[in-house]
Amino acid sequence: MQKRHQNRESYFNELSITSKNYFIPYINRFKNIEAGMNVLEIGCGEGGNLLPLSQMGCRVTGVDMAESRINEAIQFFAENKAEGTFIASDIFLLKHLEATFDIIICHDVYEHLDHKAIFLSNLLRYLKPDGIVFMSFPAWQMPFGGHQQICKNSLLSHLPFIHLLPVWAYKKVLQWGGENNSCIEELLEIKRTRASIEPFEALLREKQFQRIDRTLYFINPHYETKFGLKPRKLPSAFAAIPYLRNFLTTSCFYIIKPAV
């Protein structure tokens, strides 16, 4: 799995396919996507999610803290003859973009954030009055919620639930597997900033968001391009059970908007 994460162009193409086949149809159920709409992705990486939206005629903007990823986004969009604006920055420093966007996408970003409450509060500033947010993240307790697939050690990268070990034990396992300090620090940071369904929804209520939809996946839609696995929603009987559902949910899809 680790080699796949190093091939950023392949990852860009995979995300563009998943976005076209799953993210866009999901968003379209709640807001009709039209040419000329302004779409922002926060934590856009190489920009794969935005490519099909650009090809539909949307004005897409991608913001990411990593300058290397923004440079790749610019390169990959140019190679695909697509238009898009990409900025290496903390989104909340970009005051000129406030109240600009019809749609904001946050895909697999929320689980990396330290200050989740502040992030959600500030997110409101970038939406138009009738704008919506598409938010997705893996539930922390699911088999690979710790992102251990980035490990170089083949056994560790395929070993489920090890991120649920106590910090000291998890670190020992990663060291035993030969992971370098940079990888270990990244995985321990993800363990610290983890995201689960119940705390996320509590923050939505606190920060004046309305939950328009929640769809929980037992098999993440992105696994179709990654592994050839057909997406499967979590059965409603399990999706209704707080806390347990986190162990079975590989991706949480949300549509949210400011509360009226």
pLDDT at 1: 45
Enter the DSSP assignment of 91.
Answer: G
pLDDT in tens, 74-96: 999 999 999 999 999 999 999 99
pLDDT in tens, 93-109: 999 999 999 999 999 99
Say whether 40 sits in a helix, a strand or coil.
Answer: strand
Domain borders along the chain are 2-139+195-258, 148-192
pLDDT at 115: 94
Domain 2-139+195-258 fold is Rossmann fold (3.40.50)
Return the percentage of the chain with pLDDT > 90, whole number: 93
pLDDT at 8: 84
0.85 surpassed by pTM = yes
- Beta sheet of 59-64, edge-to-edge order: 85-88, 59-64, 38-42, 101-107, 127-137, 251-258, 209-219, 232-233
Q: How far apart (Å, rounded) are the C-alpha atoms in residues 257 and 124?
A: 8
Short-list 144, 124, 98, CA closest to 256: 124
Q: How far apart (Å, rounded) are the C-alpha atoms in residues 259 and 212?
A: 10
Q: How far apart (Å, rounded) are the C-alpha atoms in residues 255 and 33?
A: 14
pLDDT band at 146 (very low <50, low <70, confident <90, very high): very high
Say whether 178 sits in a helix, a strand or coil.
Answer: coil
pLDDT in tens, 114-144: 999 999 999 999 999 999 999 999 999 999 9
Non-local (6+) Cβ contacts of 169 within 8 A are none
Mean pLDDT score across all residues of the chain: 95
pLDDT value at 2 more than 50? no
Rounded to an integer, the average pLDDT of 12-23 is 97
pLDDT at 183: 96
Phi-psi region of 224 (alpha: psi -120 to 50; beta: other; left: phi over 0): alpha
CA of 174: how far to CAs of 85, 177, 183, 186, in Å?
A: 38, 5, 9, 11
pLDDT band at 6 (very low <50, low <70, confident <90, very high): low
pLDDT in tens, 169-225: 999 999 999 999 999 999 999 999 999 999 999 999 999 899 999 999 999 999 999
pLDDT value at 5 more than 50? no
pLDDT band at 260 (very low <50, low <70, confident <90, very high): confident
Q: How far apart (Å, rounded) are the C-alpha atoms in residues 169 and 221?
A: 32
pLDDT in tens, 212-227: 999 999 999 999 998 9
CB-based burial of residue 53 (10 Å sphere; 0-12 exposed, 13-18 middle, 19+ buried)? buried
Say whether 140 sits in a helix, a strand or coil.
Answer: coil
Is the CB of residue 247 less than 8 Å from the CB of residue 218?
Answer: no
